[in-house]
Chain A
Amino acid sequence: MGAWPFLMGASDYSDYRVVVCPEFIESSGRAQAFRNLVETCLDGEADEAVRSRHIADDRIGPCSLFYRVSRVRKTDGSSAYDAAGRPLLRVDGVVVEREANCGRLDPQEADRLIERALPTLDSSFAAFSAAKRKIPATLSKQLVPEEKNGGPPRAPRPTPSPLILFLSAALVVSVLGNAILLWRDSGWAQQIAAMNEELTNAHKRIEELTQRLREAKK
């Protein structure tokens, strides 16, 4: 499943236009049809939610667009406006090939792909925003699949030892049990005071056990 970044936006000097267009769409001669479709993306709210559109086109094959509409931000984080006072928006997204019988991408996965495309999209948008004259759309290449990315391997999450897990569980059960008993036997203030005490004791016991465990490991 291939994914290509795309971007549409407006600037002080230019009306809404496709700023980044997938290379394969441009070379298939369907850039205008793509633009027509991307224009409809601005109908939604600029809430940064991931949305999708689907294309069934003979020349470019079945594809899906996953995109987010957001406000253009100035360097201080505030919204950017055009001279007429209208907020400037941008549409960041990816075009994803839909292979036969391939299920649709879930929004989290699509969001991750858009995040990966952002550095490329941001640099193209910066060039577009600064240009006082019309500049041609940047042609985007397929995103390199994540596993072949060559980045450093992620450190595995540390797993707590079974002994610590068992002791923690026992303590939680004990505190809860005592709390229930207290709840049954005494008034509110007493219950809270007793629970506080129990919690303090439990905390001390955890510290003791952790200390012992460390010593044992040594």
Chain B
Amino acid sequence: MIGGQELFFQVCVLGTRGSGKTVFLSALHNQLSVLDSRGDNFFVELDSPADANLLRKIYGQISNPDVDWPPGTARTKEFEFRCLHTTGAKTVPLFRFLYRDYPGGLLEDDCDQGGDYIREATKSAHALLVLIDGQKVLQSLEGQTPKGASLDDDLNTLIPLLNRGANRPVQFLLTKWDILHEDHSLQAVKDELLKNHNFAKFVEQRANLKLPVHLIPVSAVGMDFARFDKNDMRMKKVKGGRCKPFNVELAIGMTITDQIQLLSVHKKSNVGRLLIWITRAMRGSLGVLATSLEISQYVINLPSFVPVEGICRILKDASTSIQVNEDWLRSKIEEEARNIRDQKSAVQSVMKIQALRRKAFETHFPESQLVVLGEA
């Protein structure tokens, strides 16, 4: 709670069947379950211990090289993450985010309840993360015919859904980067995606609206854990492999910094549609207040202490004046972490750290920027 309110962020993850939604979620939970003072400087907890156990169990099965991957998801489920920071002996809440997990097959169910669920989730989200199945990208790049839906089929299913979330930050997460990175560059992947008419139109539309779009390579298991078996046409685990997730938590940081950037650029024009931060009243304490806040849930402005200008400066300046590398990132994160004294300074520093990590990522993967903010 910050002044009686808590920042609440709904993330809608769109991904077709087998793209890795559940694997991504459980890796995210695992990755952020312990505070990393050299990294994000926050950790997550789930309100429900049963949910936390479920994610731990799934991740346990994913990371064990001697057992099969977990079976596909059959039902919809929502996970609310509380992001916290420990300062001295005190743990302070920073913000919450909601992640919805569901069977990817629902995306194709336009007629029944499953389709309604996706439409509603897309409409109410503050940010959209779109998972692009790296395995299908690989098959498309190498001219293989996949079992089931192809990359084009997936894009033609996913992109029309993004119209419902128009003007909201969108990030494309390229999953299973571990099976792509050795033989294919991110630029080659980007070019392959842009061959899809709908994808190209969407990127163009976002450029016209001056809204940033990234293509973020991620891997929930890391670079040496799984391989794509071209004979069996399926993902297999590598004997003795160890899970080391790559860029998984970056997606959350990107959505936060997207909001901040958008606020700075679109402040006067259409900020109402672009920036949606929900503030919630203390749960269950004051019914009337809670109801009124739910009605006016789309609060435009971030709390005034959020260093919007400072964050934008980090994102802008670093690219021109300093050399962004691992050492730079580490020293900057340590510097920011030292500034944390209380809850407000924790929110400020954690947000700045997200901006620093984003800058480092953009420098390392310049081709990840499909549309740069403000680019027309």
Asked if A32 contacts B105 (CB within 8 A), the reply is no
Asked if A42 contacts B71 (CB within 8 A), the reply is yes
Selected contact of B72 from candidates A13, A16, A40, CB within 8 Å: A16
* Contact indicator per residue, chain B 199-240, by CB within 8 Å of chain A (1) or not (0): 000000000000000000000000000100000111110000
Chain B, 243-275, CB within 8 A of any chain A CB: none
Q: Which of A15, A17, A40: most chain B Cβ within 10 A?
A: A15
Chain B, 1-48, CB within 8 A of any chain A CB: 17-20
Distance, CA A167 to CA B330, complexed state (A): 90
Stretch at the interface among A83-91, A150-158, A175-183: A83-91
Question: For A32, what are the chain B residues with a Cβ–Cβ distance below 8 Å?
Answer: 112-113
Size bracket of the A interface: 20 to 34
Asked if A86 contacts B68 (CB within 8 A), the reply is yes
A93 to chain B, nearest CB (A): 14
Known contacts: A15-B17, A134-B108. The answer to whether A39 contacts B74 by CB under 8 A is yes
Asked if B135 contacts A83 (CB within 8 A), the reply is yes
Residue of B with least CB distance to A17? B105
B195 CB within 8 Å of chain A: no
How many residue pairs link A and B with beta carbons under 8 A? The number is 74
Residue of A with least CB distance to B232? A81
Distance, CA A10 to CA B236, complexed state (A): 19
Asked if A84 contacts B18 (CB within 8 A), the reply is yes
* Contact indicator per residue, chain A 31-74, by CB within 8 Å of chain B (1) or not (0): 01000100110100010000000000000000000000000000
Q: Which of B70, B113, B133, B146: most chain A Cβ within 10 A?
A: B113
Distance, CA A201 to CA B252, complexed state (A): 83
B69 CB within 8 Å of chain A: yes
A16 to chain B, nearest CB (A): 4
* Contact indicator per residue, chain A 104-130, by CB within 8 Å of chain B (1) or not (0): 000000000000000000000000000
Asked if B236 contacts A16 (CB within 8 A), the reply is no
Selected contact of B69 from candidates A8, A10, A86, CB within 8 Å: A86
A12 CB within 8 Å of chain B: yes
B75 CB within 8 Å of chain A: yes
Known contacts: A10-B72, A86-B68. The answer to whether A15 contacts B234 by CB under 8 A is no
Asked if A15 contacts B103 (CB within 8 A), the reply is yes
Selected contact of A83 from candidates B74, B108, B147, CB within 8 Å: B147
B104 CB within 8 Å of chain A: yes
Size bracket of the B interface: 20 to 34
Secondary structure call for the B interface: loop
Chain B, 91-106, CB within 8 A of any chain A CB: 103-106
Distance, CA A81 to CA B234, complexed state (A): 8
Distance, CA A19 to CA B283, complexed state (A): 41
Asked if B234 contacts A84 (CB within 8 A), the reply is yes
B139 to chain A, nearest CB (A): 9
Residue of A with least CB distance to B236? A85
A208 CB within 8 Å of chain B: no
Residue of A with least CB distance to B139? A83
Distance, CA A14 to CA B105, complexed state (A): 7
Distance, CA A79 to CA B69, complexed state (A): 13
Asked if B147 contacts A87 (CB within 8 A), the reply is no
Distance, CA A2 to CA B80, complexed state (A): 42
Residue of A with least CB distance to B68? A87
Residue of B with least CB distance to A16? B74
A84 to chain B, nearest CB (A): 3
Residue of A with least CB distance to B105? A15
Question: For B74, what are the chain A residues with a Cβ–Cβ distance below 8 Å?
Answer: 8, 16, 39, 42
* For the complex of A and B, 7 pairs with smallest distance between CB atoms: A15-B105, A84-B18, A85-B235, A39-B75, A16-B74, A85-B234, A42-B74
- A-B contacts, 27 of them at CB < 8 A, read A10-B72, A12-B148, A13-B147, A14-B105, A15-B103, A15-B104, A16-B74, A16-B103, A17-B105, A32-B113, A39-B74, A42-B75, A82-B72, A82-B234, A83-B135, A83-B233, A83-B234, A84-B72, A84-B135, A84-B234, A84-B235, A85-B69, A85-B236, A86-B69, A86-B70, A86-B72, A88-B71
A interface with B by C-beta (< 8 Å): 8, 10, 12-17, 32, 36, 39-40, 42, 46, 79, 81-89, 134
B interface with A by C-beta (< 8 Å): 17-20, 68-75, 103-106, 108, 112-113, 133, 135, 146-148, 226, 232-236
